[in-house]
Amino acid sequence: MVSILGILTMQTTLSPESGVRPKNTLPEKNTVTLTINGSVHQLELAPWTTLLDALREYLHLTGTKKGCDHGQCGACTVLVDGKRINSCLTLAVMKQDTEILTIEGLAGENGLHPLQTAFIEHDAYQCGYCTPGQICSAVGMINEGHAKTTDDIRELMSGNICRCGAYPHIVDAIEEVMQLDSNA
Partner 1 sequence: MITYVGKPVNRVDGVAKVTGKAKYAAEYKVPDLVHGWVISSEIAKGTITRIQTDEALQLPGVIQVFTHENRPDLAWFDLSYKDQDAPPGSPFRPLRDAEIKFSGQPIALVVAETLELARYAASLIRVEYEVENHETEFEAHLSRARDPKLGLASLLKPPPPKPRGNFDEAFAAAPVQVSGEYVHSAEHHNPMEMFASTVVYEKNDKLTIYDKTQGAQNSQLYVSQVFGLSFKDVRVISSYIGGAFGSGLRPQYQLFLAVLAARELRRSVRVSLTRQQMFTFGHRPVTIQDIKLGASEDGTITAIRHDAFAETSRFEDYTEIVVNWSGMLYPIPNSKLTYKLVPLDVFTPLDMRAPGGVTGVPALECAIDELAFKLGIDPVELRLKNYTDRDMDADLPYSSKELRECFRQGAERFGWANRNPQPRSTRRGHTLIGWGMATGIWDATQGPARAEAVLTVNGKLRVSSATADIGTGTYTIMTQIAADTLGMPIADVLFKLGDSDMPLAPIEGGSWTAATVGSAVKVACEELGKKLFKMARKMKNSPFARANLDDVLFADAHIRLKSDPSVAVSLREIVDQNGGHAVSETSTSTPNFLKLRKYARSAHSAAFVEVEVDEDFGTVRVTRAVTAVAGGRILNPKTARSQILGGMVWGISKALEEESVLDHQFGRFMNHSLAEYHVPVNADIQNLDVIFVDETDTIVNPLGVKGLGEIGIVAMPAAIANAVFHATGKRIRNLPITLDKLL
Spatial contact of 63 and 132, defined as CB atoms under 8 Å apart: yes
Dist. CA 142–CA 153, nearest whole Å: 9
**Is 120 a binder of partner 1 (CB under 8 A)?**
yes
Q: Considering the complex, state which of residue 75 and residue 178 has its C-beta at the smaller distance from partner 1.
A: 75
Rounded to a whole number of angstroms, the minimum distance from the CB of residue 157 to partner 1 is 4
Q: Name residues contacting partner 1, limited to 128-147 (CB under 8 A).
A: 128-132, 135
Please work out the total of residues on this chain that contact partner 1, with binding judged by CB under 8 A: 77
Using CB under 8 A as the criterion, what x/- string covers residues 75-114 for binding partner 1? x--------------------------xxx-xx----x--
SS3 for 137-152 is HHHHHHHHCCCCCHHH
38 CB-near residues (< 8 Å, 6+ apart): 99, 105
**Is 176 a binder of partner 1 (CB under 8 A)?**
no
**Is 65 a binder of partner 1 (CB under 8 A)?**
yes
Spatial contact of 149 and 184, defined as CB atoms under 8 Å apart: yes
